[in-house]
Structure 1
Amino acid sequence: MEPHYYAVFGLTLASDFICDVLELVDPAEAGDVVRVERTTGLSPARAPEFDPYFDIQPDRQYMHWNAVGTFCIDDPSTVRIEPKEGVSDYLVSQALLGLVMSLVLERRGVLCLHASAVSVQGHAALFLGDKGAGKSTTSAALVARGHVPITDDLVAVGQTLSEDETLTVQPGFSSMKLWPDSIEALGLGDEASDRLIHPSLPKVQKRMATPIAEDAVPLGSLFMLRRSDEVSAPKAVRLPPHKALETVLRYTFMARYGETRLGQAHLISHLKRCGAVVSQAPVFELLVPADLTRLDDLSETIEQFVDQTT
């Protein structure tokens, strides 16, 4: 069977699995190709003590989820996957397009942030925060106001080939993971493409009506979201450089599996990339009212600060 070809994060996935949140591309126009192969013999003979189980080494990354399957990266041009019997391609793609792709990209020198991104006035606004902070909801609110989605959950930050080494954010996919109360607050209707991210959770992966950005978007501003009962209106406070760097480091994908796991050379370049983000883009703490009734005010606040690059 011929693989499916998809564009994501500046790469082309030639995948044995259907990834229906991605855009199909013509194989003849495929650029930098990453092969995603269905295979056997990767899964452990016995279920690991920990779930998920990760064995992250500089030259090989092995990941196993009891409910999904096993993923292995021996080089950053190939991902081998042994899905659990009966698991859908959709559930496989949830793991593939998150932690697994972050390792592919990191090994290629691309900084990966656990965040959501929207193009606002031609610049990428990035939303970071802990679980439940409202990253996807904030992005969806901006898209509802006419801004352009870039990606959700995984943000890939890399350099352009220009002499000034401008940082850009690569387009990923327009689907966003939203809780039912966020969908209601945004006035979004039910769509045939809506999917539960997991059968045990009510959170929905919802494809936005606005297509994603076609090209990489210059990095604009970063917002660390923090919901608070102490504010009645959104409030953005720019962080000093040391706090900004601490925030960026905290919300990298590498922080989820250990900054030193890919080796010392990679750690040094990783720290430099995080420093480059802070030197080129302001980082704000954005205090957000705890309820969902101020999404327009939240969007207006972001629009005011997204291009403050000095």
Structure 2
Amino acid sequence: MIISHAVLKLKYIRYDRGVIIVTSISPRTRALQPTAYTLAGQTVVFDQAVTALSEYASPAYVPKQSEYPALQPELAATVDEVYRGPAPIDGRLREVTVWQTAVGVQIDVDAQPVCQLDIDQAAIHLLCSDGLGSRVNLEVITGPALILLLQRRSIYCLHAGAVHSRAGVIAMVAESGAGKSTLSAHDAEDWRQVSDDLLPVRLSGDGDSSEVSLLPDYPQLKLPNARVAWLPSQAFALDYLVRINPQPAEVFECRRLPLQSAMLQLIRHTVAAKLFDASSLAAHAEFAKRFCQCVPAFEIAYPRALDQLPDLRQQLVDALLTT
């Protein structure tokens, strides 16, 4: 459906195609120093320093002023509404609307434009004047906006907690409130939290040599300093996918998921999948199939009792090692 909507159409010059760029529409940011960060293994250059992302700064990469665009806003007459619905942002549900424009994708929150993406040029443009200090803006930029650009590089982001355990690396997916953050919380040397909420993953290889890599360097904005306590310096293989049943059980239960069920859980818990276009949806389905062919998936149910968490974690590890 094509409808009228006041959307800013942005013209600019791009230089380094290997870098993702985040710019502000505010002219005052031109005097600030562009700063590079490593997020999901990609260099992301903001046109100013972002305090909340300081743990991910990439001092080895020194961006040039010419590597981010000068913006010339124009009004686009028509856009196509791609998605409208509630999403948790900055501690409460807000209405998110996504538009397809002539130059890319625009994301609005509570009827206010937040940012516009140029997918082909790997650029995100902040449209509102309150800047990157706004929690809403930062969650949108590091959430759906950046995730849509990463998808074009075959990196998908799961709404998942993850841990490094005796059994290997476990990704845990679940509906909100089902307990994945609690279960995956950092505990000890043999239960190190790798992700609290957002988990970028990537496939490499073909056929029997396929491997799913976890990219741990991604902002976990719900945690202090936006990072887990133990942040590995490089990607490593993902060994298991575990779905947490939202219904509690009287005792710990673990069962292997068949391929189709595992794919459904992976697709359901991929962040921003509702915003994918037709070609991206097809690529995502193929990714889910290959992912679940090389990573065994399980479903667990357990009592919701905090004092049993250490035992539950050990039961999960033992079940994965013996199943």
Both proteins in one fold, TM over 0.5? yes
- Calculate the TM-score normalised by the size of structure 1: 0.73
Amino acid at match of 1:154: L
Corresponding position of 1:3: 34
Aligned in 2, Cα 1:256/1:301: closer, same or farther, shift over 3 Å?
Answer: farther
Tell me the distance in 2 between the aligned counterparts of 1:29 and 1:116. Answer: 32
Contact residue 36 and residue 61 of structure 2 kept, 8 A:
no
- The match for 1:159 is 203
The whole-number CA distance in structure 1 between the counterparts of 2:230 and 2:244 is 25
Identify the residue that residue 242 of structure 2 maps to in structure 1. 223
Partner-residue secondary structure (3-state), 2:130: coil
- 1:65 is aligned to 109
Q: Look up the match of 1:184.
A: none
Do residues 286 (structure 1) and 319 (structure 2) align? no
> Is the 8 Å Cα contact of residues 5 and 14 (structure 1) preserved in structure 2?
yes
**CA-to-aligned-CA distance 1:5-39 (integer Å, 9 cap, x gap):** 21110112211351524421114388xxxx88897
Partner in structure 1 of residue 15 of structure 2:
none
Computing the radius of gyration from Cα coordinates, the structure with the larger value is: 2
Q: CA deviation at 1:124?
A: 2.7
| RCO comparison, higher one (Cα < 8 Å, 6+) | 1
Size of the aligned set, in residue pairs, is 270
Tell me the distance in 2 between the aligned counterparts of 1:174 and 1:102: 12
**Partner residue of 1:144?**
187
Structure-2 residue corresponding to 1:234: 252
**Structure 1 residues 19, 41: CA separation in 2 closer, same or farther (over 3 Å shift)?**
farther
Give the direction of change, closer, same or farther, for the CA distance of 1:212–1:86 in structure 2 (3 Å limit).
Answer: closer
The offset of 1:89, in angstroms, is 4.1
Q: Does 1:131 align with 2:176?
A: yes
Q: Does 1:95 align with 2:140?
A: yes
Out of 272, 281, 284, the position equivalent to 1:270 is: 284
Q: CA RMSD in A?
A: 3.5
C-alpha change, 1:39 and 1:122, in structure 2 (3 Å) is farther
- Using the alignment, how far apart are the partners of 2:230 and 2:73 within structure 1? 38
Alignment partners' CA distance in 1, 2:303 and 2:268: 23
1:159–1:168 contact (8 Å) kept in structure 2: yes
State the AA in 1 paired with 2:188.
R
CA deviation string 1:132-172 (max 9, x = no partner): 011222221xx212233333322222124699231111113
Return closer, same or farther for 1:61/1:24 CA change in 2, 3 Å cut-off.
Answer: same
Alignment of 1:293-308 (within 5 A): 293-306=307-320
User: TM-score normalized by structure 2?
Assistant: 0.71
Change beyond 3 A, Cα 1:249–1:122 = same
1:18 aligns with 2:50: yes
- Counterpart of 2:192 in structure 1: which amino acid? V
CA contact (8 A) 1:125 1:306 kept: no
Question: Is it true that 1:74 corresponds to 2:118 in the alignment?
Answer: yes
Unaligned 5+ residue runs, structure 1?
179-192, 195-204
How many Å separate the matches in 1 of 2:75 and 2:305? Answer: 43
Using a 3 Å threshold, how does the CA distance of structure 1 residues 12 and 122 change in structure 2: closer, same or farther?
farther
Query: CA separation of 1:86/1:56 partners in 2, compared to 1, >3 Å: closer, same or farther?
Result: closer
The alpha-carbon deviation at position 82 of structure 1 amounts to 1.9
Distance (Å, rounded) in 2 between the aligned partners of 1:44 and 1:266: 25
Per the alignment, residue 197 of structure 1 pairs with none
Q: 1:188 corresponds to which residue?
A: none
Say whether the 8 Å CA contact 2:273–2:281 is kept in structure 1: no
Query: What is the percent sequence identity of the aligned residues?
Result: 21
Matches within 5 A, 1:159-178: 159-160=203-204, 164-173=209-218, 175=220, 177=222
Q: CA deviation at 1:74?
A: 0.8
Check the 8 A contact 2:35/2:62 in 1, yes or no. no
- 8 Å contact 2:144–2:272 — kept in the other structure? no
Measured against aligned partners, the alpha-carbon deviations of 1:220-268 in whole angstroms (never above 9, x if no partner) come to: 1111112434x233322111122111211211224433xxx423x3222
Contact 2:131–2:137 at 8 Å: present in 1 too? no
Aligned to 1:251: 269
Relative to structure 1, the CA distance from residue 95 to residue 86 in structure 2 (aligned partners, 3 Å threshold; closer, same or farther) is: closer
